[in-house]
Amino acid sequence: MSCMDSTCHLAGGNGGRFTLSATDANADIQVVKTLADLGNPHSSPVLMKPAEEVAHGGGRVLSGRGDACYLAIFNWISNQVDPVLGDTSPSCGLCTPVANTSTGCGFP
């Protein structure tokens, strides 16, 4: 199961709040950033919903906070620039952890 399943958040799917293109990684990253809580990554909707910590119409996609895909997304969010604290990481979070995940995590 993936966020980019054709029936979910891939363009043309019925995934609701956001749509991913699967062909424009930069656009997809910008969409995911809107679902990230930089101050508290565990509270990010992009993590809470697929882990079913809050209701998610697509069901449980991530098995919880120990899931490899959850951790990859959590690490990516943690490395983004916090609007209050500024750049708190040397790489400024240019999606290195996500790029190393598999397409099974929903990323190209």
Give CA–CA dist 58/73, Å, rounded: 18
Cβ–Cβ < 8 Å for 52, 45: no
Q: What are phi and psi of 20, to 5 degrees?
A: -105, 150
Cβ–Cβ < 8 Å for 93, 79: yes
What is the per-residue pLDDT across 55-97, written as a single tens digit (0 to 9) for each? 787 778 888 888 888 898 898 888 876 555 555 444 333 333 3
Q: What is the pLDDT of residue 1?
A: 56
What is the per-residue pLDDT across 97-107, written as a single tens digit (0 to 9) for each? 333 344 455 54
Cα–chain-centroid distance for residue 49?
Answer: 10
Is pTM beyond 0.75? Reply is no
Give CA–CA dist 70/50, Å, rounded: 9
